[in-house]
Amino acid sequence: MTSFPPQTQAAIDFAADLFRQAKHAVSLTGAGLSTPSGIPDFRSTGTGLWSRDEPMEVASLSTFRTEPERFFEWFRPLARQIYTAQPNPAHLALSGLEKAGHIHSIITQNIDMLHQKAGSKTVIEMHGTMQTLTCTQCYHQVQAALHLDLFVETGSLPRCPKCKQILKPDVILFGEQLPQAAWFRAQREARQCDLMLVVGSSLEVLPVAGLPMQALDRGAHLIIVNNVPTYLNVRADVEILEDAALILPAIVEKVLNG
């Protein structure tokens, strides 16, 4: 078992107490949750995707429509990382909390499907998913695995089996609206929860970054586990500036076994 400094251990114990008392807890997860699985986040200095590329030039809807080859050239190494990544202890810890009835849902900004790989069932994907692709011409939707596997291996652009036009991954690019159904579900969860756990998110991307405030405004408790502070750390009941892959298993162990 990992040994923590007294202040960190006290925060872990308090977080566990909040989970045991909660009737409707939800988690909001961001890219920092998946960095221990080898998937780069977006804003970390030197390692984040946007420290190397200009997002509006490579990952916008306008770029995809006008220069799909440029998008896919940027996307190919990321797709390879996502498809080979495995859940880390933080994903498994959240899945364990859900199985034990201590988390009602997971709202995620990630597209990597690692929550599902870890066994989580109620996952609200705010920025889309890598599980499917949709044709830009006839809107035929296909399962991504076969098409993206071939793309990752050969670089051949995925094309619609019906009309042969380019298939777009069902992820939200810059310039696209959030999936409406997912956004409504996420807002409902934020407004109904009595505890929100924010993990691995800098809370810088709106409108998802506003969900914890919706929870706080209705009296919910807030736990933040992230490597760097967020704008809401001053409002959090518990803030732990550590690696989620170390902290979440410790919280779950305390929740389940005291």
Q: Write out pLDDT tens, residues 222-235.
A: 999 999 999 999 99
Domain finish residue from 138, 153, 171? 171
Q: Write out pLDDT tens, residues 27-76.
A: 999 999 999 999 877 554 444 454 455 555 778 898 899 999 989 988 88
Q: Is the predicted pLDDT of residue 83 greater than 90, yes or no?
A: no
Q: According to the model, what pLDDT value does residue 82 have?
A: 87
Q: According to the model, what pLDDT value does residue 47 have?
A: 44
Overall average pLDDT of the 81-104 stretch: 95
What are the catalytic residues?
127
The sheet carrying 123-125 orders its strands as 123-125, 105-108, 25-29, 195-199, 221-225, 238-240
Domain assignment of residue 188, given as a range: 1-38+87-127+174-258
State how many domains the chain has. 2
d(CA 66, CA 58): 11
Q: In 10 A of CB 159, how many CB atoms?
A: 15
Q: Is 84 left (phi over 0), alpha (psi -120 to 50) or beta?
A: alpha
Query: Angle at the Cα of 157 (from 155 to 162), degrees rounded to 5?
Result: 145
DSSP state of 173: P
Residue 123: CATH number of its domain: 3.40.50.1220
**Tokens found for residue 77:** 């190494």
Q: According to the model, what pLDDT value does residue 59 have?
A: 80
Domain finish residue from 141, 171, 201? 171
Overall average pLDDT of the 233-252 stretch: 96
